[in-house]
Structure 1
Amino acid sequence: MHLHIISSTNLRTKHKMKTLVLLFLFSTIALSSGQESPDPVRDTDGNLLRSGIEYYILPVFRGMGGGLTLASTRNESCPLDVVQEFQEVDSGLPLTFTPVNPKKGVIRESTDLNIIFSASSICIQSNVWMVEEYEGQRIISGHGVSGNPGKDTLSNWFKIEKYEDDYKLVFCPTVCDFCKPFCGDIGITIMENGRRRLALRDVPFKIMFKKA
C-alpha cells in the first residue's frame, strides 16, 4: 500500500490559490453589478450639456412659441414666473444648469439639478427655478434656492429626461431619502390672457437645448 504524503507547504499554497480565485470572482461580480452613469444630455449641435454654460431651452415643434423667460403672471408684479415667449423667433433668456454634485461638469439625464436664469429683473429674486402652488396649480417660479440639497430645498430640484427623440423637464426630486414628493412632467398651461406659463402637467413640454 502506498501512502501519499502532502506537505503543509503544499496545503498552504493550495489555500492561497483558492483565496485568490475567490477574490477575483467577487471583484468581477462587484464590477459587473455596478451601476452605469446615466446618459449625458446633448444640445442641438450634439455636444454635451455642461454645468455653468449658458443655454436656451427651446420648443421642438415649430410654431409653438419661443424659448423660456420670466414674467409676471399673478395679481402682483412680483415674483416673476417661468413662461414661454409668444413668438417662435424669441429665444428667451439664457440659463445654466447646476447638478446636485456641483463637481460634476456634465449634465446627465434623470439627475437632480438646479435651473437658473442668467438675468436681472425688477424683482429681487434669485432666478432659480422652483415649484410652488398658486391658485390650485403647481407652477414654476423663479425665486428658489440654489444648492443645499435636502428636505428644505425639495421644490428647487428638477431633472432632464429623454422624451422620444428629444427631452422633457421633470419634477421628481431625490435629494431627500425619507421625503415623498409629488412628481410630474413640466408642461405649458395657457392662461386667459394667452400667457404660456410653465406648470406640472400631464402633457410634457418637448424641448431641446441650444448653446447661448
Structure 2
Amino acid sequence: MSYLTITPNINQNIYNMKSPLFFILFLVFIIHTASAADDVVYDVRGNKVLNNVPYHIGPVVWAKGGGIKLTDKKNNNKICPFNVVQDPAEVNIGGKFSFTQVAKENYLKTSRILGIDSGSAKSGCDVSTFWKIDDAEAKAPKNLITTGGLFDTAASCFQIVQYPKPTSPKIHSYMLQHCPYFCGAGPHTCFNVSVVVDNGVRYLASSGTPFEFVFKKIK
C-alpha cells in the first residue's frame, strides 16, 4: 500500500501562545496551504484544463509507454467491467476521459473531489463508465481501477495532486489519489494511483510509486 497524506497536526496549545511572530507565521502557513490546495490544473501546453470535458492522459516521457485507455481483456479473456491500463506503445495516445468535479466550476483544480468518466460504454458490457476501486487496501485485482463506478461515491472518489518531484519543471504534471473517505466511507487517508505490471500489462491501481501524468487536449 502506498499513500500520500498531508495533514497538518495543530496542537490545541497554540491558542495559549502569545508570541505575535508565531501567529504571523501560522497565518502565512494557512494562507499558503489554502492557495496551494486549489491550484488550477493545466494541460501539457500550459492551457487550463476544463471541468467535465474529455482529455487524453499519459506519461510525461512517452518513451515509457503510451496513454491511458480501457481494456476489455485480461489473460486473453473478455472481462466486464473493463480495466484501466497504460498502452504499451508510446505512439498511442490512449482513450478519452472526462474529469468531473463535484464542485461546479469551469476548470479543474487540485485537491478537489472528482469522478473520472470513460465516455460511451462499449457494447457487451452494460455497466457505468466511471472509474472505481473496489478496495484500495487490498491486493490485485481488488485494488485495480475498473469501470462500473458511480459519481460521488466512495469507490469512485478521486482527486488530482501536483506531482511532488516532476520529471520536467517546465511541464505541468500530476498524480491521482483515491480518497474514499472524502465521499463518505473508507479509511481516513488517500491512496496514490500507480502502475502495476502483471504479465506485461500496465494496470492502474492503488499501490506503488505514484503515476506521473499530463493532460493532453483532444484534437
Q: TM-score range by the shorter chain?
A: 0.7 to 0.9
Whole-Å Cα distance in 2 between the matches of residues 82 and 179 of structure 1?
22
Matched, 1:144 2:149: yes
Q: How many residues align?
A: 175
Asked whether the equivalents of residues 129 and 141 of structure 1 are also in contact (C-alpha less than 8 Å), the reply is yes
* Number of the residue aligned with 1:107: 108
Contact 1:158–1:173 at 8 Å: present in 2 too? Answer: yes
Aligned to 1:169: 176
Instruction: Tell me, yes or no, if structure 1 residue 93 matches structure 2 residue 95.
Output: yes
Q: Does 1:185 align with 2:192?
A: yes
8 Å CA contact 1:93–1:119 kept in 2: the answer is no
Give the structure-2-normalised TM-score. Answer: 0.71
Who is 2:12 aligned against? none
Q: TM-score, normalised by structure 1?
A: 0.74
Q: Which residue type is aligned with residue 97 of structure 1?
A: F
1:19 corresponds to which residue? none
Q: Percent identity?
A: 30
Q: Which residue of 1 aligns with 2:46?
A: 46
How far the C-alpha of 1:179 sits from its partner, in A, is 5.2
Deviation at 1:111, TM superposition (A): 1.0
For 1:40, the aligned partner's letter is V
Query: Contact 2:86–2:202 at 8 Å: present in 1 too?
Result: yes
More displaced 10-residue stretch of structure 1: 81-90 or 67-76: 67-76
The structure-2 alpha-carbon separation of the partners of 1:174 and 1:190, relative to structure 1 and needing over 3 Å to count, comes to same
**Equivalent residues of 1:73, 1:80 under 8 A apart:** no
Contact 1:117 1:128 in 2 (8 A): yes
In structure 2, the gaps of 5 or more residues are 1-27, 167-172
- Relative to structure 1, the CA distance from residue 119 to residue 67 in structure 2 (aligned partners, 3 Å threshold; closer, same or farther) is farther
Amino acid of the structure 2 residue aligned with 1:120: A
Q: CA deviation at 1:51?
A: 1.1
Letter matched to residue 83 of structure 1: V
Q: Structure 1: which 5+ residue stretches go unaligned?
A: 1-31
2: CA distance between counterparts of 1:179 and 1:128?
Answer: 19
Partners of 1:154 and 1:199 lie apart in 2 by 16
Aligned to 1:175, the other structure's residue is in SS state helix
| CA shift for structure 1 position 76 | 5.2
SS in 1 for 2:155: helix
Distance 2:185 2:79 in 1: 36
Residues of 1 paired with 2:126 and 2:90: CA distance? 28
- One-letter identity of the residue aligned with 2:139: G
Question: Is the contact made by 1:184 and 1:202 (CA closer than 8 Å) also made in structure 2?
Answer: no
RMSD: 2.5
Name 2:24's counterpart in structure 1.
none
Structure 1 runs, 4 residues or longer, greater than 6 Å off: none
Shift of 1:119: 3.5
Q: Could you tell me which residue of structure 1 aligns to residue 60 of structure 2?
A: 60
User: Is the counterpart of residue 205 in structure 1 residue 211 in structure 2?
Assistant: yes
Greater relative contact order (CA < 8 Å, ≥ 6 in sequence): 2
CA deviations over 1:50-102 (Å, ceiling 9, x no partner): 1122100111123211111111337652111111111011111111111011x
Q: Map 1:71-90 onto structure 2 (within 5 A).
A: 71=71, 72-73=73-74, 77-90=79-92
Deviations 1:13-57 (A, max 9, x none): xxxxxxxxxxxxxxxxxxx97744610110011111111221001
Cα 1:203–1:178 shift into 2, 3 Å: closer
